[in-house]
Structures are given as C-alpha cells and as structure tokens.
Amino acid sequence: MSRKTRTCFVSIIGLPNSGKSSLVNSIVNYPISIVSSKAQTTRDQINGIYTNDDLQIVFVDTPGFHKKINKFSDVLNKNVMDALEGIDLILFLHPVNKFINETTKDLFKSIANFKNKIAILTKLDLEVDDQKLNMQAQNLKKLGFDLVMGYSTEYKMTKNDLISKIEEFAYESNFFYDEDLTTNQSTRFFVKEIIRKHLLLNLKEEIPHQCAVVIENFSEANEKFIEIEATIYVARKSHLPIVVGNGGKMLEKIGTGARKEIESLLDSKIVLKNKVKINNNWFANESKIKKLGY
C-alpha cells in the first residue's frame, strides 16, 4: 500500500522585524534566516522545510515589506509579491506591541483577495496584558482577517497550535523535498548570511544595510580546513574605513565572529578571508543589484 503524504506551501509576510525569521527557524529547528533586533535583516526568499510523518510544510520566508526608498527596496518588495505564487496559505505577521500603521495596511491590501490567510500576533513573550492582546486581535480582524493566532518562540504550545492549523490547508501530494532537508538554500548562501549577520551586529545605522556580501571562493581542497574568500561591498567611500576599522580591527572582529559561527554550522575548521570594496550606491542601481545576487 502506497504511503499517502500531504504538502502545504506557506508564505510568511510582514513588515521588517515582525518575527518572520524567528518563526521559521523555531519550527524547522534550524537557523535558516538571520535573526536580529535590527529591522530589514532578510533580503532573500528562503524556504524552510518542516517534515513530520506524512506532512511536509514549506515555509517561504520573505524580506519585510519596505517603504519605497530606492531600487533595492523595490526589489525586496517584488520578492515579497513573487513569494505568493503557488502558495496555499499566507501567514501575516504583526508584533503584538506595534501599532497597525499605513504600511501595514498597504501590505494587507496586496493580499486582500487571497483566500487562505491567517494573522499571527508575534512576540508574545513581551509583557503585554490581555486587554492589549485582545485589542490587537480585534484590529487585525477589522483589517480583514477571519482568524488571528498568537505565536512565540518561547511557548511550544503556540508552535503546535500553528502546525495543526496549517495542516488543515495541506493537500495530498508527493513531498517536494527530501524528508531530511530543512532548507533549499546552499552552504554558500548560509556563509554569506552569517557574514552579513556579523556586519549587522557590529556596525551602526544604515551602514550594514548598505553592505552586500559575495562569496568569491569556497574550497574544500584541503582536508584539514575549508577556505572561504568573501568580498564585502560598501555603498559609499566613507563607509569603507568604518567597516575596516582602525588598523583593520573592525573587519577582524566581524571575521572572527563569522568564522566561529561558520565552523559551528559546518563542523569544520574554517579559514575565512574577507576584503572590502566600494560599489558606489549599488542599492540604487538595478544592474548592480542583480550582479550582487539580488
């Protein structure tokens, strides 16, 4: 007797820093996306894969929906909309402690005609009283959601409840991915993201958001270590000395933090060589954005 399996493709959308990456990482139990207190950390469309018995859920984590600032924000917003193609369910994430602003309303309008959608109130671990929680749920229902659920990475019950609800939208099909996979992204992608994470952790204001990372070389030729060469592109000449730091100390700090995390991920000794180059205003030029892999 053949095994009956079910699949559900779920797109996760919301404003920057609404908890999208935290939700995906906690469900698939693997750090497939950067998690940071800073907004705008996810730039790419990333698939997180949860498989349990006969159920496979493919989560499509998207960049946060941005106000129109430049060409790069246009590209990120297009990625959000592209992620809705072939989707069975949308999870619309909104932090319980944030007001519903005009950008939130604009994002909802873009999915208003999509039948299957659930609003998820995130960051329930923050100290929010029941009155505010209920008020936020009512505000989301007024926006047009029939169902509002809560989610926190701190509370396992919310994870189980969400998976059970998503399962209601699953359909009979073969699994799209091997059962032992947790993501569709390559090792190079994760290395790039880890370096970018440490740029975000160590640099201030707009500088890390205007940096792009390209993996130039990933070599396993030496049995004792993996050699990785990466280029960090900054958008302005004035940013270069800040990223490099006095006597190269900032770049060394970024590299050391990234190297340790990559070694933990790959369970191997890593030789990481980072260099910094200027790519003037790359985020405002569509051709440059594409060349950098976005």
Which residues neighbour 255 within 8 Å (Cβ) at sequence distance 6 or greater?
A: 198, 272, 274
Q: Does the annotation list 18 as a binding residue? A: yes
Q: Does the annotation list 17 as a binding residue? A: yes
Q: Identify whether the C-beta of residue 46 lies closer than 8 Å to the C-beta of residue 25.
A: no
Q: Does the annotation list 53 as a binding residue? A: no
* Nearest CA-CA partner of 212 in 279, 287, 263: 279
* Nearest CA-CA partner of 265 in 185, 190, 189, 179: 190
Q: Could you give phi then psi for residue 291, rounded to 5 degrees?
A: -65, -25
Which residues neighbour 116 within 8 Å (Cβ) at sequence distance 6 or greater?
A: 88, 89, 90, 169
Q: Does the annotation list 180 as a binding residue? A: no
Q: Does the annotation list 20 as a binding residue? A: yes
Q: Does the annotation list 64 as a binding residue? A: yes
Q: Does the annotation list 62 as a binding residue? A: yes
Q: Does the annotation list 169 as a binding residue? A: no
Strands 211-219, 226-234: pairing kind? antiparallel
* Nearest CA-CA partner of 190 in 37, 12, 44: 44
C-alpha distance from residue 20 to each of 35, 100, 147 (Å): 9, 17, 18
Q: Does the annotation list 147 as a binding residue? A: no
Q: Does the annotation list 61 as a binding residue? A: yes
Q: Could you give phi then psi for residue 31, rounded to 5 degrees?
A: -80, 75
Which residues neighbour 6 within 8 Å (Cβ) at sequence distance 6 or greater?
A: 54, 55, 56, 167, 170, 171, 172, 173
Per DSSP, what are the bridge partners of residue 55? 6, 52
Q: Does the annotation list 15 as a binding residue? A: yes
Distance CA 52, CA 63 (A): 27
- Binding residues, as ranges, are 14-21, 61-65, 122-125
- Binding residues for GTP, as ranges, are 14-21, 61-65, 122-125
